[in-house]
Amino acid sequence: MTSASDLLSKIKNQDIIVGVVGIGYVGLPLSYSCANNGFYVLCFDVDEAKTEKLNKGESYLDTVPSERIAPFIKSGHIKATSDLSRLGEADVITICVPTPLDEKNEPDLTYVVKTTESIAKTLRKGQVISLESTTYPGTLDEVVTPILEKTGLKVNEDFYLVYSPEREDPGNPNFETSTIPKVIGANTQEALDLGIAFYEQVVSQVVPVSSAKTAEAVKITENIFRAVNIALVNELKIIYQKMDIDVWEVVEAAKSKPFGYMPFYPGPGLGGHCVPIDPFYLTWKAKEYGVRTRFIELAGEINKAMPAYVVENTDKALQEQAGKTLKDSNLLLLGVAYKKNINDQRESPAFEVMTLLKEQGACVEYYDPHIPEIGPLREYPKLVGQKSIAWNVQDLSQYDAVLIVTDHDAVDYQALVKNAKLVIDTRNATAAYSSRQNIVKS
């Protein structure tokens, strides 16, 4: 049996194997950061296409290019597999799987549960398991622990559990996994010390808190903060547009205040796996305590209504500037990634905008330099497989309007404004050309 002190020594000496379960937008950057700091990493994913590609030294994410990964594949510091029976080989296991909502807007912990059940099959004494998936406070205690203890092994005696939420910001050139402070919580000092010893070798700063439940609350608070503030500025946009006031100009001026203000920007709706989804994990959990999360629910309503607002504004602009309606209009949607400069389409508001436009009879194509083809979508299966057009500014005049949904830097907005009949800008991407009469902000 490996004692906690022996395990602590092994972690500090990097005499361990790190297992990363789920090698998507969280797991792959974490795997790279671990390998880059001297650890041997065994990557697990049920998607064999990912593991096969990774073992060839090829990345499938813009955020972790192949030239970063390939040397660690060659050296053996990173290996990938879909064989979950090998989880017993890892000394520290990090769970980086999705936590979506179900059709009732309630937490769907299927991936966490299945992963934990797989870990349980090979669980042995002396392992550390860290849950990184965003979830509601209490998940580690109420969901993960009982599954693992069914093996007969005892948490914080035979194996150790910590919660350390991911804080990835895909597309942000100023931060990556290793430079983002890492919150970590556990329910015993021994477990916390083991988690700290591991993560402090992978990231620049570790921020310990008093319990796993507190760490879970930290992560969900961060995402609720964003969701509520984005909803507020989206509501302000609607109000100010009625008053003929540019909300982006207002925000730019307001952020000159050096205290008491933080800028948030409006858009066509929320996207990504975290901010549109995670707040509702707390809404669901709060019901156990008889508490209604009114701010969270209202923010969700406002943000979910933004795609319809964009479509309504597009219809209005077509009527006023072209004497047309959405029915039989030929439209180009610019950007389907949920944020600029990445190839992540998860929960992108672009798909709701596209669907609503098509339902009203519009012909809709899209251009996105990062997403050449729309991948699997649970809510919008009819859009799957649609391909991006080739970019040619000379062809822009054939569209009745171009809707900017995602403001990728790779797009020549000056050429776009010059060649398009009408531009519906939901991101203020054309601010430098605001004097042009064919631009409508939405």
What residues are annotated to the active site? Answer: 274
Other C-beta atoms closer than 10 Å to the C-beta of 30 total 27
Which amino acid, one-letter code, is at 395?
D
How far apart (Å, rounded) are the C-alpha atoms in residues 242 and 274?
A: 31
Q: Which two tokens stand for residue 11?
A: 């972690």
Q: Give how far Cα 408 sits from Cα of 112, 358, 427, Å.
A: 33, 23, 10
How far apart (Å, rounded) are the C-alpha atoms in residues 440 and 312?
A: 12
What are the φ and ψ backbone dihedral angles of 96, each rounded to 5 degrees? -125, 55
Taking alpha carbons only, the member of 239, 139, 122 closest to residue 185 is 139
Which amino acid, one-letter code, is at 217?
A
Helices assigned H by DSSP within 243-293: 247-254, 279-286
The count of C-alpha atoms lying within 13 angstroms of the C-alpha of 59, restricted to the half-sphere facing its C-beta, is 21
What are the φ and ψ backbone dihedral angles of 80, each rounded to 5 degrees? -120, 145
Q: Which two tokens stand for residue 388?
A: 């991006």
The count of C-alpha atoms lying within 13 angstroms of the C-alpha of 206, restricted to the half-sphere facing its C-beta, is 18
Q: Give how far Cα 388 sits from Cα of 351, 365, 370, 385, 417, Å.
A: 13, 7, 9, 10, 20
Taking alpha carbons only, the member of 246, 170, 156, 241 closest to residue 428 is 246
